[in-house]
Amino acid sequence: MKISFLIPVLNYEPTLAETVQRLRDVCTSEEAEILIVFDVTRPECLGQVEPQRADLTTKFDARSFVRLNERGFGSALRYAADQARGDVVVPIMADLSDDVSVVPAMRERISAGADVVAGARYIKGGRIVGDTPKQRLSLLYSWLIVAMSEIKCRDISNSFKMYRRDVWQAVNAQAGSFDLSAELTVKAAVLGYRVEQLPATWVNRQVGKSNFRLVRELWHYGRWAAIGVLCLPARWLVVAGLGLPLFVKRVARRRIFASGHVRAAGSYATALLSDTAQGELDDR
Ligand SMILES: Nc1nc2c(ncn2[C@@H]2O[C@H](COP(=O)(O)OP(=O)(O)OP(=O)(O)O)[C@@H](O)[C@H]2O)c(=O)[nH]1
Ligand SMILES: [Mg+2]
C-alpha cells in the first residue's frame, strides 16, 4: 500500500526540512511519496522557497508545487491530493506538530478494513504538548459532535488522518480552509465509510507563525457539525425525539385532570344529558 504524504506550506516554514526527514525515517521512497504545496503570497519568500524545493527533491525525493498569490490550507491539500498516486493520503503539517510514528499503525488499520484512520489527541494514549484555548475548543467541538451523532472519532478537527484515496475522492470536499479535515471526516461518516482512530501526540508549533484565525473559522467548522448531527443523529437523540412528544402529552393530560377542568366538564356533560333526557320524557 503506497502512501502519499501531503504537506501544505504557506510562504516559508523553517521546520519543513525536518518534517520531511521525519517522514523519510518512517517510510522509504518505495513506500511513500511526499508532495508539498507552497502557497507563496509574499514575493520575498520565493528566494528561499526555490532552493529549498530543489534540496528536498534531491535529498528526500519530494515533489513540490508552487501556487503564486493563492492560498488556503484546504485548497492546498485538495490540490496536493489531486496530484497524489498513492493508495492512501495523509496530510502532514510542516510545523512538526504531527506524530508520524503512528503512520505504520494507521496503515495496518486501513489494511484491516478502515477507510479513514484519525490520529486522535483526545483518547487514552493521545495527548497535546503545549495546550492552548484553541485546542480546548477543538476538544469541545469533537465532544459535541460525538455526543449528538454516530461519528466514532473523538478528534474530528485534527488534520493528521490517513484516508483511502478513493474515499477522499468520493467525499468530494469543498472546504478551502482549515475546516477541510472536519468536512472530510464528517462526510466520510455520513457516506457510510468506516472511520477509526488511534492515539497520537500533537505538539504545538515551536517556531514560525500560526495561520489559524479562530473567529473566521467558527462558521466554517459549524456547518460540518450541523451536517453530522442532522445526517447521523445519535441514538439517544432519536429516542428523545420520539419520546419527548409522548412525555409532554402525558404530563399535559395529568395536569389537565388535576386542574379539575375535566371533572367540571364531565359533570356539565352529565347534567346536560340528564336535562335533555328529562325534557324528552316531559314531551311524551
Ligand atoms: N499551502 C498552504 N499552506 C498553509 C496555508 N495556511 C496554513 N498552511 C500550512 O498548514 C500547516 C498548518 O498551519 P498552522 O498555521 O500551523 O495552523 P495550525 O496548526 O492550525 O495553527 P497552530 O496551532 O498555531 O500551529 C503549516 O504547514 C502551514 O504552513 C495556506 O493558505 N496554504
Ligand atoms: Mg500548526
> 93 CB under 6 A from ligand 1?
yes
Residues sharing a CB contact under 8 Å with residue 95, sequence separation 6 or more, in sequence order:
13, 15, 19, 205, 206, 207, 208
Sign of the dihedral through C-alpha 225, 226, 230, 236: positive
Ligand 2 midpoint to CA 148 (Å) = 28
Q: In angstroms, rounded to a whole number, what is the distance separating the alpha carbons of residues 79 and 65?
A: 9
Tell me how crowded residue 15 is: count the other CB atoms within 10 A of its CB.
Answer: 18
Low-confidence stretches of the chain (pLDDT < 50) are none
Contact yes or no for 99/78 (Cβ under 8 A): no
> 184 CB under 6 A from ligand 1?
no
Residue 262: predicted pLDDT: 64
pTM of this structure? 0.86
pLDDT in tens, 173-189: 999 999 999 999 999 99
Residue 272: predicted pLDDT: 72
> 39 CB under 6 A from ligand 1?
yes
Q: Give me the phi and psi of 229, to 5 degrees please.
A: -70, -35
**SS3 track for the chain:** CCEEEEEEEECCCCCHHHHHHHHHHHCCCCCEEEEEEEEECCHHHHHHHHHHHHHHHHHHCEEEEEEECCCCHHHHHHHHHHHCCCCEEEECCCCCCCCHHHHHHHHHHHHCCCCEEEEECCCCCCEEECCCHHHHHHHHHHHHHHHHECCCCCCCCCCCEEEEHHHHHHHCCCCCCCCHHHHHHHHHHHCCCCEEEEECEEECCCCCCCCCCHHHHHHHHHHHHHHHHHHCECHHHHHHHHHHHHHHHHHHHHHHHHCCHHHHHHHHHHHHHHHHHHHHHHHC
Residue 254: predicted pLDDT: 77
Amino acid symbol at 105: A
Residue 27: predicted pLDDT: 97
Written as nine digits, the cell of 71 is 492560498
- What's the first-to-final CA gap in the chain, in angstroms? 98
Residue 104: predicted pLDDT: 97
Ligand 2 midpoint to CA 96 (Å) = 8
- Which ligand sits closest to the CA of 128? 1
Sign of the dihedral through C-alpha 233, 234, 239, 244: negative
Amino acid symbol at 81: A
Supply angle C-alpha 135, 168, 132, rounded to 5. Answer: 5
Residue 182: predicted pLDDT: 97
User: Which of 7, 38, 211, when mutated, tests ligand 1's pocket best, judged by the most ligand atoms within 8 Å of its CB?
Assistant: 211
- Which ligand sits closest to the CA of 211? 1
Residue 208: predicted pLDDT: 75
Residues sharing a CB contact under 8 Å with residue 238, sequence separation 6 or more, in sequence order:
none
Q: In angstroms, rounded to a whole number, what is the distance separating the alpha carbons of residues 212 and 138?
A: 13
Q: In angstroms, rounded to a whole number, what is the distance separating the alpha carbons of residues 115 and 126?
A: 21
Q: In angstroms, rounded to a whole number, what is the distance separating the alpha carbons of residues 262 and 259?
A: 8
Residue 227: predicted pLDDT: 93
Ligand 1 midpoint to CA 61 (Å) = 23
